[in-house]
Structure 1
Amino acid sequence: MGFGQGLSGLNAASQNLDVIGNNIANSGTVGFKSGSATFADVYASSRVGLGVQVASINQRFTTGIVSTSGNQFDMAIDGAKGLFVVTQPNGATLYTRNGQFLADKDHKIVNAQGQQLMGYAPGGTNLIGMTVPVGNIAPQATSTITNKVNLDANADVVPGTNVARVVGVVNLDDGTGSVPFYYETNGSTYTWFTDPAGTTPGGAPANGTTYTTGAPASNITFTGGVPDSAIPTTGGNVAYVAPVTAVPFAMTNSDSFSKMVPLTVYDSLGNEHRVEQYYTKREPAGGNSVWEVNYVVDGNYDPANTAILTFDPSGRLLSGSPAAINFTPGGGTSPADPVSIQVAYDGSTQFGGSYSQDFVQNGYATGEYASMSIGSNGELIANYTNGAKQTMGMIALADFANLQGLQPVGGNAWAETANSGQPIVGTPGSNGLATIKGQAVEESNVDMSQELVNMIIAQRTYQANAQTIKTQDQVLQTLITMR
């Protein structure tokens, strides 16, 4: 029996050395999980053991160091829970921690073994193979412009309406007959005219003369052209309004607006259009400041594309947001859909300071695929030459109730077994699954110093078991030589 025990010890120590050697050999393998041998004693119907056996080879699914690789398709599982789901060309599903992927000739995202990475379509629930997008991204017509501006509270008012002079008339009688006299007044100063239109100065009543007005009759004495009492209103309107000439908006007249800001928008074909926002400060109304905004598209002005912004005395926007710009694209060889844009000014102000404007429009032209980036939640995001981004899918991760029950199949992969249980599949960061780090890989979790120590122990174990066989041989030799 001593030989059998020693032989079992040699066999177990040899297998242990195999495991240690495998760990050391794969210390540079991305996603590799180190293993360890567990042993069990062997007994029959006796109090003396029959030796040792290897009970199992367990793998340690602890997380390896995550290091940056720079490869756009590389990804690391940043946590203990989760394995990538990959499909072999024959349709079999495997699981791996190795996140070294690339795009093959068919634009599939695969690993070095040709296994395709699995995930979900945006908003989908069924597993599909992940691919790299081809072709151009569709353009998006501009539908919103979000402005946040400050309009100069000290800007000059540009008159928006005509205000004519009001010339009054009063009938005065100096005893020889009633004569009409025409004037302008601000209540204290009078300017006299000889005609109802107020174009020819002169015609003031004679100084020192007392006149009788029409009904109700009253006497007025003029001294230096100024009456000694107010002129009654029976002759006409005596309110004085300074003459003002309106300045209608015209993009060619810089005096008709206060500030112009250009921006680019897009139609349904991705063609660019220039929109110019012309801000014009108008007369205050109701104690609030008023700004008129005119929109010129590709040099064409439509009065319907006009907004009125109202600010309170504290410079806060009261009304005018949102506004609208509507136009039909023209000038191209292919017709595009009419464009309707909602223009928001929420958060805009009118303070005493320089003009400032920040705006964002949501349209873009078509663009070619440029690169892929990976979000921490497993999103595969395609980046295009026009600056647009598009989510192409979500990476799937799988977890098992018993990871030790998985069957290693080589190529950094495991297969599901009855002992592992069925996979629990989800997206990174959900249901306790780990997150993803893009352009990085998870290194092997082999602890080289620990493995070298384990190697020394296994070597000594092997030597000790060999010594028991040698000792048993000597004992047997002694028995044989006995007479």
Structure 2
Amino acid sequence: MSFGQGLSGLNAASQNLDSIGNNIANSGTVGYKSSTVQFADVYANSRIGLGVQVSRVSQRFTVGNISNSGNQFDMAIDGANGLFRLEQSNGAVLFSRNGQFYPDKAGYLVNAQGHYLTGYGPGGSQLERLQVPSANVPPKATTALDFKPNLPGGAEAIPTTKTQQKVDANGDPVFKPKLEPQLDANGNPVLDGSGNPVMEPVMEPVMEPKLDANGDPVMEPKLDANGDPVMEPAMEPDMETVAVNVFDPKDPTTYSNAFSYSVYDSLGNSHEVSQYFVKRPANAAGESVWDVYYMEGSTPLSPASATLTFNGAGVMTSPNPATVNLTLANPGGNASPADDLVFDVRYTGTTQFGGEFAKGKPYQDGYATGEYAGMSIDKDGTMVASYTNGVTQRLGSLVLADFSNLQGLSPVGGNAWAETGASGQPILGRPGENGLATIKGQAVEDSNVDMGQELVNMIIAQRTYQANAQTIKTQDQVLQTLVNLR
């Protein structure tokens, strides 16, 4: 019986050494979980045991150190609960803690064994294989431009009209009869049928030059044949109101400030829309008035202008709501025909305070097409693609699996485990939810093998092996002694 006990001890110690050796060999394997051999004694119907047996090989699912890798497709499970859900080409499902992935020729994220990483599609809850995009992100036409400038309250108003004397075709000044209200016998103004004063020319004597007693020229009223002064209508300059400072984007004297910003049409073509701000004289309500002109190059938008007003506190009072809807018709022309570009300029927050013209932080929501540039992953498992135009796009979200009994999982190699009846069904969820661990991008989880502990365990297993071998040797000597008895 002692031979059997020793042999069982040798076998158990050998398997323990195998486990320790496997741990040491995988000390550099990403996501590896070290294993521990557990033993049990063997008894029959006797008070003396029959030796030892390996009852199970358990794995320690403690978390390994997280190391930054710099690889955009690497990811580490930062916590104890959770395994990546992988799918083989035949549809079989495996689970792993190794987060080293790369895109295959079709763009699907796979590990070194060719297993597909799975998760949820953008905004969905259906499990699918996660894929890195290869096509350009489509352009988006601008629908709104948020612009909150400060218009300088101390800017000098630019008048729109001035009054001047008319001139004729020869450039000579034009005059008109001077009028005054007609009076009745009581000296009151005569009114017409509309209640307006009846106007009549102001008459004045015609003056003519004569010589006085000393022979010097003097002006005296001209007399008619009856000796009465000759009268004629009095004349005054004929004045007119003409437009001045007519807006011209090429003439900086016709506007106070200007601002240009790029917007995008339905094909992603960029168009530089310029806004020209012109301070005008205050209106009848005492409010400050600014005219804004909209141009794309030399082409006016529709409407071509708008008016902003501000109260004495510098707060914009109109338009209300503070939005101007603009249209740029046929923005691409015949070379690159695109849909009419219709977008809002939103002035909410615009002020007129003392100081300089300030542009604030303008923002427009359109963009041109862009090529795929890279990928990042958030701690909640959301995979985000970035493009050369600065746009980001969600690719989907990782799914993690947890089990009621991790020890029931069956190791299948390749840093993976398979579900068994003992493990129970996987409990799936997004990282960070329902107790699941979070994700760290561009990082991997190192092996949790404690090299120092494994070396100590190896010494103990070696001594155990030697001791069991010694029991066999001793039993052999005892048996030899019995054989030599005469």
Q: What's the TM-score, normalizing by structure 1?
A: 0.80
Can you list the C-alpha shifts for 1:299-339, whole angstroms capped at 9, x where unaligned? 21146243333333333344432222112224243421122
Partner of 2:303 in structure 1?
Answer: 304
Following superposition, the deviation at residue 16 of structure 1 comes to: 0.8
Partner of 1:226 in structure 2?
Answer: none
Q: 1:462 to 1:330 in 2, by over 3 A?
A: closer
Partner of 2:3 in structure 1?
Answer: 3
CA separation in 1, counterparts of 2:72 and 2:46? Answer: 63
2:64 corresponds to 1:64: yes
Task: Name stretches of at least 5 consecutive residues in structure 1 with no aligned partner.
Answer: 181-194, 197-242
Q: What amino acid does structure 1 have at the position aligned with 2:294?
A: Y
Q: What amino acid does structure 1 have at the position aligned with 2:429?
A: G
| Contact 1:396-1:428 at 8 Å conserved across structures | yes
Q: 1:305 to 1:408 in 2, by over 3 A?
A: farther
- 2:248 is aligned, of 240, 250, 261, to 250
2:470 corresponds to 1:467: yes
Q: 1:464 to 1:257 in 2, by over 3 A?
A: same
| Contact 1:159-1:244 at 8 Å conserved across structures | no
CA separation in 2, counterparts of 1:16 and 1:163? Answer: 108
Partner of 1:295 in structure 2?
Answer: 294
CA separation in 2, counterparts of 1:296 and 1:115? Answer: 56
Q: 1:169 to 1:121 in 2, by over 3 A?
A: same
CA separation in 2, counterparts of 1:244 and 1:412? Answer: 86
Identical aligned pairs, as a percentage? 58
- 1:446 is aligned, of 433, 446, 449, to 449
CA separation in 2, counterparts of 1:244 and 1:156? Answer: 20
**Worse overlay, 313-322 or 420-429:** 313-322
Following superposition, the deviation at residue 258 of structure 1 comes to: 1.0
Partner of 2:392 in structure 1?
Answer: 389
User: 1:27-106 alignment to 2 at 5 Å?
Assistant: 27-106=27-106
Following superposition, the deviation at residue 164 of structure 1 comes to: 9.4
Partner of 1:190 in structure 2?
Answer: none
| Contact 1:294-1:303 at 8 Å conserved across structures | no
Partner of 2:354 in structure 1?
Answer: 352
| Contact 2:263-2:272 at 8 Å conserved across structures | yes
2:345 corresponds to 1:343: yes
Q: What amino acid does structure 2 have at the position aligned with 1:422?
A: Q
**Worse overlay, 46-55 or 156-165:** 156-165
CA separation in 2, counterparts of 1:261 and 1:382? Answer: 33
| Contact 2:65-2:446 at 8 Å conserved across structures | yes
* Matched residues, number: 417
Following superposition, the deviation at residue 349 of structure 1 comes to: 2.5
Following superposition, the deviation at residue 160 of structure 1 comes to: 4.8
Q: What amino acid does structure 2 have at the position aligned with 1:304?
A: P
Q: What amino acid does structure 2 have at the position aligned with 1:324?
A: N
Q: 1:303 to 1:156 in 2, by over 3 A?
A: farther
**Worse overlay, 20-29 or 313-322:** 313-322
CA separation in 2, counterparts of 1:319 and 1:443? Answer: 63
How well do the aligned residues superpose, as a CA RMSD in angstroms? 2.6
Q: What amino acid does structure 1 have at the position aligned with 2:138?
A: A
Following superposition, the deviation at residue 472 of structure 1 comes to: 2.2
SS at match of 2:454: helix
SS at match of 1:356: coil
CA separation in 1, counterparts of 2:33 and 2:126? Answer: 29
| Contact 2:269-2:332 at 8 Å conserved across structures | no
CA separation in 2, counterparts of 1:317 and 1:77? Answer: 52
Q: What amino acid does structure 2 have at the position aligned with 1:353?
A: G
Can you list the C-alpha shifts for 1:198-243, whole angstroms capped at 9, x where unaligned? xxxxxxxxxxxxxxxxxxxxxxxxxxxxxxxxxxxxxxxxxxxxx9
User: 1:110-121 alignment to 2 at 5 Å?
Assistant: 110-121=110-121
CA separation in 1, counterparts of 2:144 and 2:73? Answer: 34
Task: Name stretches of at least 5 consecutive residues in structure 2 with no aligned partner.
Answer: 166-177, 190-200, 203-240
SS at match of 1:136: coil
CA separation in 2, counterparts of 1:432 and 1:311? Answer: 55
Q: What's the TM-score, normalizing by structure 2?
A: 0.80
Q: 1:465 to 1:343 in 2, by over 3 A?
A: same
